[in-house]
Amino acid sequence: MMGIIELKKVSLAFEEQQILFDLSMDFWEGHIHAVVGPNGAGKSTLAHTIMGLPDYRSHTGDILFDGKSIKELSIDERAKLGITLAWQEPARFNGIKVREFIRRAADKSSGTKSPEDVMKMVGLDPGRYLDRDVDTTLSGGERKRIELASIVAMHPKVVLMDEPDSGVDIDAIQSIFHVLEWLKDHGTTVIMITHSGEVLKHADHAFLLCNGALVDKGTVEQLSSYFERKCVPCTHKNVPDEEALV
């Protein structure tokens, strides 16, 4: 199966601290992938490295997009290829209306959905939100859904979602899952960064990170044991004994 994003022995260190260890991972085109693991496992670092954020460019190994290396490309150049990142804490843009924010995203694509359409898709009333500023008057959950609306308008090839359920209520997360399925059905590859078993259920395939290393990969059913027992057999020096897992 073709990997639209491929990591080839990617390692990353900040100063003298190793964060990612020799990661080789294939993210299949048109699938929803979950990258799971405990806090501090390196999940968000992985997303930032794939996106090419400035502080995450010094990795060894290689990252391929559609079979071609993007290691030397800037974040803007990767975005032009169709890779985007939805932040765990969405940005605020004082002075920019929601309508303009979504239109700017739509200008980067050949999609035809209007701001009204994408707002309805994420469960927000266009009449209440399109003429508001993307600022602190919006809650974190509202900004997250507006950011997702802009991603639908953009229709990227790959979207990295960092903790999609963070700061949102049950109704909002169901809207988010619905949109992620829509993106998948329209050819977008979704990579969800999460430590939530509920989010994992909405993936087609999953990777488990621990301490910056790939511990396991496979189906959602295979990886769900991590959330049931909070650990899987591995070589980490701090692996708990069997009694601690009961």
- Residue position matching structure tokens 């806090």: 39
Cβ atoms of 196 and 223 closer than 8 Å: no
Distance between CA atoms of residues 89 and 161, nearest Å: 11
On whether the pTM is more than 0.85, the answer is yes
| Amino acid (1-letter code) at residue 196 | S
pLDDT in 10s for each residue of the chain, 246 residues: 678 999 999 999 988 889 999 999 999 999 999 999 888 889 999 999 999 999 999 999 999 999 999 999 999 999 999 999 987 665 666 678 999 989 888 876 655 678 999 999 999 999 999 999 888 888 878 888 898 999 999 999 999 998 888 777 777 788 888 999 999 999 999 999 988 888 899 999 999 998 899 999 999 998 888 777 766 555 555 444 443 333
Cβ atoms of 55 and 78 closer than 8 Å: no
Would you list the domain boundaries of the chain?
90-155
Q: Dig out the tokens for 91 from the structure.
A: 């940005």
